[in-house]
Amino acid sequence: MNLRILVAGDHFILPRIFADAIRTEVKTVLEFREYQSPWPGVPFGRIGEVTEASGSEDEVIQALDGVSIYVANHAPLTKKVLEGAPDLKLAVIARGGPTNANVEAATRHGVLVCNAPGRNATATAEHAMSLILAVLRRIPESHAALAQGEWRGDYYEYDKCGLELENSTAGLIGYGAIGSRVARMLRGFGCQILVYDPYVKAETVGDLAQVVELNELLSRSRIVSLHARATPETRGMIGTKQVAAMPAGSVVINCARGTLVDYDAICDALDSGHLWGAGFDVFPEEPIPANSRLLKTPHLVMTPHIAGASRQTAEKAARIAAGEVRRFLDHEPLEHCVNPEAAIVKR
């Protein structure tokens, strides 16, 4: 009998993209089942006890009947799903963080869980750079005026002119796979780079950047770009006090998580003119409520949480997942297992 694998994709990472990557990597005869959740047409959210999930627990349980390996993007891996999938041995959540998986419950059930770190690092870094340039040079605003038949020659007035990256100081909060890429891109534009990351040492960044404390980064940086994870420690780390510490005419960019920033503080600083502009791809509530201040505040460039949305991200995530499937089948150490202790749990 062939080994059964459930490939649970969505409209970003299609089930066939997972299956094709696994077929390329694994030479064993496999039987694929497919499940497709409605994301991103329907926003992800909480399912059971997990977050950023999409789909139906009952449908996933039905699809997991007799399945040993589960490869998913946003489809849920909850206590209920695990209890309904007694044959499951490996779950690969092809995302940077497996927030849609109950890792503790999986460990109790003896199910190994892997993730796909760095899958969207390049796409997100490039998107952050796009927002930086769009904000500095007022690109969306001038485009919108032209589209309405208005020639905004006043953008050549000194007080309204855009800002250059060359010789500017940029501060990066977080220096992981994404932040380090943004640093290299900014250096290519001629920026001086400051980094705040409690887990990064000066020798890690070398000559590319200077590692400093957060207060110093804020006080010296014309551009501040966030690339930190959402944790209790980072919640609201950029608020009224931190924005006030930035030089007048600065820019804030957030392509990380909406919980990192007090958005009312940013709106206040934009309304007062203390900030030149801001660019956001993530928000405290998604989709943005119709009455949100963000929709009315000037000099704010926004995108709907699409920084990681590239075809290469989908394909890379599938390749990373396929590699874990092959290693599991070949009894090799898994590269991105988040609960290796599950291997010793007896069913």
Which amino acid, 292? Answer: S
| Beta bridge partners of residue 36, listed in sequence order | 9
Helix (DSSP H) and strand (DSSP E) numbers for the chain: 12, 14
Residue 127 a catalytic site member: no
Check 257, 319, 327, 336 and give the catalytic one: 257
Q: Which two tokens stand for residue 189?
A: 């534009």
- Coil, helix or strand at residue 260: helix
Residue 286 a catalytic site member: yes
With residue 244 as reference, give the H or E element that holds it. helix 240-245
| C-alpha span between 109 and 156 (Å, rounded) | 64
Check 95, 222, 305, 319 and give the catalytic one: 305
Q: Which two tokens stand for residue 335?
A: 């590269």
- Coil, helix or strand at residue 155: helix
Which amino acid, 256? Answer: A
Residues in the chain: 347
| C-alpha span between 170 and 70 (Å, rounded) | 41
Q: Are 272 and 266 in contact (CB under 8 A)?
A: no
Tell me which residue has tokens 């909480």.
46
- Coil, helix or strand at residue 69: strand
Q: How far apart are the first and last CA of the chain?
A: 22
Nearest to 69 by CA among 333, 335, 326, 343: 326
Check 25, 59, 286, 315 and give the catalytic one: 286
Residue 327 a catalytic site member: no
Q: Which two tokens stand for residue 331?
A: 């009894």
Q: Which two tokens stand for residue 166?
A: 């060359």
Q: Which residues are catalytic?
A: 257, 286, 305
